[in-house]
Structure 1
């Protein structure tokens, strides 16, 4: 889990360090000075992810009310960030990290304003056979309608579903995939909005925020008017000819062209390759 604090021009304000190292160094300094240290309050983020998926997070901070944060250059800065990258293999597992609600390491007091998530899915064997989708949580200072957080840990669950969208690229029409992730409502129905939502600051300390991700069983075309579905699978429309990279169907659902699977096979129907 690595830490960054950014200035307005986007350059790191301090060298990258691990959060645990920062806490230990700070603790040592306080012990030497005869002071006691109170660790910042945190909440626990968890994500249940499918096989070959992982989640990284960026927690964004803003100056606390009445605070002015000044960089060594003398410029005021209004954004600080913590970056979380679980060091786990890309298999079916649960991603987990703790998110501090405050950041006081840089001469001013900052408070959490949001958590941005990057969902990475691997669809092929090569390192580049992957795609990213985003999710996010904002932190509200408005009081929650729920009772104030107690000593009993609370858990908020946000469900979402990801789907692979396929398309062809290049003159040889290789199959490539794009990841799309959307929120699920209480009935399990797909929503237009991305996964995540609003969190209330007065409910976060020592609580757990959890995202449960699933993957749709069926893939769909990334571009709707490029493919026609048959009982045997999807066929790629011919368009104006083999060299037409756009290849829109435009009413012609009888002429199709071959494409290549990621492993190089020449195919006429996706995903079964042959009819």
Structure 2
């Protein structure tokens, strides 16, 4: 499955998305009538995760029409979904139409984009965000030996760094598509999914977070058996503080909860 990165416009649109447009169903929530021409998208999230989703549509193959322009709060050719943050693991259930009709123009599903948010601390700004998604293709599968996978894996990881004069730890979230254990060769992890094979089916997208973190910027930390130490650079006030071969001089930093530390993630040696 090819990795889909949301465009800048799509990212801004997701951030401005009114809650009244967000369509979300938790697995334990109320049931919804399933459209005849749709598939069920189950999204499994680790603790501390939330998502916003955008299903984008394009004119059906052979049609000469175009997607109508946005009017007010109406976004023709887009459908929005949301699952709010939970401190525990959760599963979002979305019924995603495969086709749509906007302004008399027959549309088909082109992509489903995820905006993924994850908390790494208690403060409001202790939040990482990334974008990923699924691509779709309107046509017949090239080979019966390459069926549309019903389980997709998204692997996320934290990249850590220090920010500000007090050198607080901040984290960047990165998520990518990976093959599941059943997809050993990774062939079915490469896009796009076939629309013709999805009607009435359930596609499960599993987000996982790696237990291993790594520095966001190279040559700024040195790894020891006790953890990572932050290079000193030219001085304690050096905001970049590259190691440049100096693996003996380091400087303290602060955890997101305010603790003063010398090694990450154990805080003390």
TM-score normalised over the length of structure 2: 0.76
The CA distance in 2 between the partners of 1:222 and 1:257, in whole Å, is 17
Residue correspondence of structure 1 range 94-113 to structure 2 within 5 A: 94-113=91-110
Q: Cα gap change, 1:122/1:72 in structure 2, threshold over 3 Å: closer, same or farther?
A: closer
Contact 1:86 1:97 in 2 (8 A): no
2:191 to 175, 197, 216: 197
> How far has the Cα of 1:197 moved from its partner?
3.2
> How far has the Cα of 1:133 moved from its partner?
1.7
Residue correspondence of structure 1 range 3-152 to structure 2 within 5 A: 39=35, 41-64=37-60, 65-69=62-66, 71=68, 80-87=77-84, 89-144=86-141, 145-146=143-144
> How far has the Cα of 1:122 moved from its partner?
1.0
Aligned to 1:224: 218
Aligned to 2:251: 257
Superposed CA RMSD: 3.3
SS in 1 for 2:191: strand
Residue correspondence of structure 1 range 235-246 to structure 2 within 5 A: 235-246=229-240
Contact 1:43 1:204 in 2 (8 A): yes
Aligned to 2:27: none
The CA distance in 2 between the partners of 1:168 and 1:189, in whole Å, is 37
> How far has the Cα of 1:127 moved from its partner?
2.3
> How far has the Cα of 1:216 moved from its partner?
1.2
Contact 2:58 2:107 in 1 (8 A): yes
Summarize deviations over 1:10-54 as a string: whole Å, max 9, x none: 8x9xxx65779xxxxxxxxxxxxxxxxx95511111122111112
Residue correspondence of structure 1 range 148-163 to structure 2 within 5 A: 156-163=150-157
> How far has the Cα of 1:100 moved from its partner?
0.5
Q: Does 1 or 2 have the higher relative contact order (CA < 8 Å, sep 6+)?
A: 2
The CA distance in 1 between the partners of 2:67 and 2:199, in whole Å, is 27
User: How many residue pairs were aligned?
Assistant: 235
The CA distance in 2 between the partners of 1:189 and 1:254, in whole Å, is 44
Aligned to 2:29: none
The CA distance in 2 between the partners of 1:112 and 1:156, in whole Å, is 17
What stretches of structure 2 of length at least 5 have no aligned partner? 1-8, 25-33
Residue correspondence of structure 1 range 173-212 to structure 2 within 5 A: 173-187=167-181, 197-212=191-206
Contact 1:137 1:196 in 2 (8 A): no
SS in 2 for 1:164: strand
Contact 2:69 2:76 in 1 (8 A): no
SS in 2 for 1:197: coil
Summarize deviations over 1:226-264 as a string: whole Å, max 9, x none: 101111111000111111111100100000011111122
Contact 2:229 2:262 in 1 (8 A): yes
SS in 2 for 1:263: coil
Q: Cα gap change, 1:262/1:68 in structure 2, threshold over 3 Å: closer, same or farther?
A: same
